[in-house]
Homo-oligomer: A and B are copies of this chain.
Amino acid sequence: MHNPTTVIVGVGLIGGSLARALRTRNLATEIIGVESNAASARWALDHGLVDRIEAHIPDNADLIALCTPSDQIAQWVIDLAEHPATVIDVASVKAPIVQVLDEHQQRFPRFVPCHPISGSEKSGPEAATEDLFNAATVVVTPGAETDTLVKSQVIEFWEALGASVLEMTAQAHDEALALTSHLPHLLAFAYMQQVEADHLPLTGGGFRDFTRIAEANPELWWRIFALNKAPLLAALSGFGEQIDALAQAIEQDDRASGLAIIAEAAGRRETYAKHD
């Protein structure tokens, strides 16, 4: 699948970055955008992200990247069931998509669910960057029906963009991401409700970093929360227990317990966080 004709459905931050990355690395013969938002389509065309915009997916497409909102992916895959192209998506929540397809009468051996763990609080093709996937992890969650050759091609595709590919089940992905990404957003959104204008001078770098993810696209994040409801609420429940333990230590002046929790956190942060 070298230099295929690539169709990007949804030329926003992720789709636009995919276009830029493919261009820079010369990994597509032709890049065709399918984009219902006229302004985004115009911008992507004017800035050379795509070679042309089409209303429908052309028959000669080799690779179709669905970069639309999560809740539209399954229907796109179903509509493309007869198309010979390899189909990937970039949605943040995988199990609901896989579940709809599993329950469908047709099989989808050429669809490989993907989630590049990279993003930004920004959105739209204007924010697209050619290196969004470089050094990122891309999770792929193929099912038993997924064509092995297609899966290998998709893994190579992401690796050619500089990403590391990790294969896991859709369920395991959604549970892990509920913790590593969705819960922090939930906490940051809730936290910001208490912050008023006159707190601004009383904030420092810690506040700035801690709250950065709160400046996100509300529609996108409500959709993620709604789609990954059960794993997210489970992660939140676990967080509640941890908060209760720390609050109890403070309440009861229990220095040993409180210090142990904080030291555990500091140690894990030092070990687990990628280089700052």
Contact = CB atoms under 8 A, between A and B. Distances in A.
Interface of A: 117-121, 136-137, 139, 164, 166, 173, 176-177, 179-181, 183-197, 199-219, 221-222, 225-226, 229, 232-233, 235-236, 238-239, 242-243, 245-247, 250-251, 253, 255, 258-259, 261-266, 268-274, 276
Contacts of A195: 179-180, 268, 272
Main DSSP-derived SS at the A contact region? helix
Identical copies of this chain, number: 2
A208 to B, nearest CB: 6
20 contacts: A121-B206, A166-B201, A180-B202, A184-B207, A184-B210, A184-B211, A185-B206, A187-B210, A192-B264, A192-B266, A192-B269, A193-B261, A197-B271, A208-B274, A209-B213, A215-B269, A216-B266, A218-B263, A229-B253, A236-B243
Contact of A229 (B120, B250, B269): B250
Contacts of A208: 273-274, 276
Q: Which 5 A-B pairs have the closest CB atoms?
A: A192-B265, A189-B265, A215-B269, A190-B242, A214-B269
A59 to B, nearest CB: 36
A194 B235 contact: yes
A204 B272 contact: no
Contact of A266 (B218, B271, B273): B218
Contacts of A177: 202
A190 B243 contact: yes
Contacts of A269: 188, 192, 211-212, 214-215
